[in-house]
């Protein structure tokens, strides 16, 4: 069935005020994860946001179900098959003193842009999805499948909401989660965390990194004086685009090396302070079992070539490796690396490639999550991508593979689609999160077409 694009556009546009009113109400609810209670598994805020959203959809005349305050959904249409549009109502913490120009939990609109925690990730997308369901209903379009707008409340801190939803309600037959990028993400790399342990003769203390999924931008180390050439170390650091500070503490040299942060899924965009500290010490002549272990097995590669002793890749994108955090306890250096492996590999096969024991140290895989891969030629991917292309006219950007993870990993037959338009940074998880109102409307328009294409698959 050929949808009337102009009519969809006009009907969505007519809901502009309604969309902003709903989004403002949801932004006003601080839905950061809170203290769990007997019937509110993620605390009061997420449950309140869920009740408010379900109430809106109930008043619209949709059938609504609250799945134990983990998630909830609104449904339209009849049939055996379920199409899911899956967003989330929880947010990552925000407070004005972090550097916001306005209160994060009071939505403000300025020059056609709304600001507030969640306007993009992901309350904006949820509200745009609500509008798309309303438009489909208003237009009386034939819906021979059950279309569900599923809203979770724990995406940011573990996705236990969707796990619970799937346990109670099952998977969907086709779906998308507007919590990633247009024109869709058909592959999400596998994620692995590997701990390492080693002994050092010269490093007395070391501490660096805030999180394993971030390229370390600062590391402190206390090192035996005379175990390396300080002048050579200084020139190494300078040559590699880093900076450092140095001071004396008795017989020790205290070094702080500064690199550049980036997300672990794109480690080549950062400069790893930990890896350069040890590469610098080695080039400055330090003879040490830990430094040898680190430089030979982890080193400066961001593609894991040293770690796996081969390049691990497939046609959709290479493996990435990030050395995230390091510390020392009782004379043992402990660190964690974050690996994102290609979408067509299985975790067992990747683990089998790792040499765990070395004479100077050892590795241990602590977490491993398989990748998500949906055939880019499958109807799910091509239907969604064509809805995007037809409405935006953008033929340049194509569905992609990413190193991060979304809801799509938690529920079958689902891929991330929207809500971010290509090349834009909405400052999600950051201060002054923003979204243009016209883009929220454009999202709703795209979702109408996307849902109707999935209905026809």
Please identify, using beta-carbon distances, which residue of 91 and 452 lies nearer to Zn ion.
Answer: 91
**Smallest gap, in angstroms, from Cβ of residue 74 to Zn ion?**
19
**Shortest CB 9 distance to Zn ion, Å:** 26
**Which of residues 121 and 410 has its CB atom nearest to Zn ion in the complex?**
121
Closest approach of Cβ 118 to Zn ion, in Å? 9
Closest CB to Zn ion among 191 and 281?
191
**Smaller CB separation from Zn ion, 263 or 276:** 263
Phi and psi, residue 11, nearest 5°: -65, -40
How many whole angstroms separate alpha carbon 440 and alpha carbon 419? 9
Tokens 């006009």 belong to residue: 10
**Smaller CB distance to Zn ion: residue 74 or 119?**
119
452/457 Cα distance (integer angstroms): 9
CB of 122 to Zn ion, least distance (A): 4
Cross-strand pairs, 205: 222
- The minimum distance between CB 88 and Zn ion, in angstroms, equals 6
| Strands laid side by side in the 108-110 sheet | 108-110, 113-115, 434-436
**Interacting residue ranges for Zn ion, rule: CB under 5 A:** 121-122, 179
Shortest Å, Cβ 52 to Zn ion:
18
Residue 18 region by backbone torsions, left for phi larger than 0, else alpha for psi between -120 and 50, else beta = alpha
Q: Whole-number minimum distance, CB 155 to Zn ion, in Å?
A: 5
Rg for the chain, CA atoms, rounded: 25
Residue 92 CB, shortest distance to Zn ion, in Å, is 8
Q: Write the DSSP assignment of 164-228 as a string of letters.
A: HHHHHH---SEEEESSEETT-EEEE-EEEEEEEEEE-SSEEEEEE-S-TTB---EEEEEEETTSS
167 backbone dihedrals φ, ψ, rounded to 5°: -60, -45
Residue 323 or 406: the one with the smaller Cβ distance to Zn ion is 406
To Zn ion, the closest distance from the beta carbon of 185 in angstroms equals 13
In the complex with Zn ion, the residue whose CB is nearer, 75 or 122, is: 122
Reference 128, options 15, 263, 51, 234; nearest CA is 15
Closer to Zn ion by CB, 89 or 252: give it.
89
Q: What does the block give as tokens for 349? A: 């096969």
* Lookup: tokens for 359: 């004479």
Torsion sign (Cα): 140, 146, 147, 153: positive
- Reported residue count of the chain is 457
| CB closer to Zn ion out of 179 and 370 | 179
- The helix (run of H) or strand (run of E) holding residue 115 is strand 113-115
Please provide residue 328's backbone torsions phi and psi, each rounded to the nearest 5 degrees: -140, 140
Q: Tell the residue number behind the tokens 């745009």, with chain if given.
A: 128
CA distance 300 to 278: 9
């Amino acid at each position: 069935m050929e949808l009337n694009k102009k009519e969809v556009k006009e009907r969505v546009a007519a809901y502009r005020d309604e969309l902003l009113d709903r989004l403002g109400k949801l932004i006003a609810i601080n839905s950061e994860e809170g203290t769990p209670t007997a019937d509110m598994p993620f605390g009061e805020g997420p449950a309140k946001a869920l009740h408010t959203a379900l109430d809106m959809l109930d008043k619209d005349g949709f059938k609504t179900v609250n799945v134990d305050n983990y998630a909830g959904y609104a449904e339209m249409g009849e049939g055996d098959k379920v199409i899911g549009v899956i967003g989330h109502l929880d947010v990552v913490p925000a407070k004005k003193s972090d550097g916001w120009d306005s209160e994060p939990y009071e939505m403000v609109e300025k020059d056609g842009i709304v600001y507030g925690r969640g306007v993009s990730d992901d309350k904006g997308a949820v509200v745009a999805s609500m509008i798309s369901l309303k438009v489909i209903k208003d237009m009386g379009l034939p819906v021979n499948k059950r279309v569900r707008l599923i809203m979770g409340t724990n995406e940011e801190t573990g996705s236990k909401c969707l796990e619970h939803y799937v346990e109670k309600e099952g998977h969907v037959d086709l779906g998308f989660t507007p919590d990633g990028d247009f024109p869709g993400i058909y592959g999400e790399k596998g994620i692995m965390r590997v701990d390492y342990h080693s002994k050092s003769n010269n490093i007395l203390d070391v501490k660096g990194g805030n999180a394993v999924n971030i390229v370390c931008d600062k590391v402190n180390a206390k090192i035996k004086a005379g175990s390396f050439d300080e002048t050579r170390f200084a020139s190494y650091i300078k040559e590699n685009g880093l900076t450092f500070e140095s001071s004396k503490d008795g017989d020790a040299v205290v070094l702080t090396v500064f690199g550049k942060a980036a997300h672990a899924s794109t480690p080549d965009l950062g400069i790893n302070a930990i890896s350069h500290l040890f590469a610098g010490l080695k080039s400055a002549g330090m003879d040490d079992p830990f430094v040898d272990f680190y430089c030979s097995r982890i080193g400066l590669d961001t593609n894991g070539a040293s770690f796996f002793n081969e390049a691990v890749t497939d046609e959709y994108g290479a493996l990435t490796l990030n050395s995230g955090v390091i510390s020392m306890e009782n004379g043992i250096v402990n660190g964690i690396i974050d690996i994102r492996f290609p979408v067509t590999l299985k975790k067992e096969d990747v683990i089998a490639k790792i040499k765990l024991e070395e004479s100077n140290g050892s590795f241990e895989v602590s977490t491993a999550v398989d990748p998500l891969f949906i055939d880019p030629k499958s109807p799910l991917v091509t239907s969604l991508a064509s809805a995007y292309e037809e409405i935006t006219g953008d033929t340049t950007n194509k569905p992609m593979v990413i190193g991060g993870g979304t809801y799509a990993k938690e529920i079958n037959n689902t891929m991330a689609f929207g809500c971010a338009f290509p090349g834009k940074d909405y400052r999600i998880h950051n201060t002054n999160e923003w979204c243009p109102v016209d883009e929220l409307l454009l999202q709703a328009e795209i979702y109408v077409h996307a849902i109707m294409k999935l209905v026809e698959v």
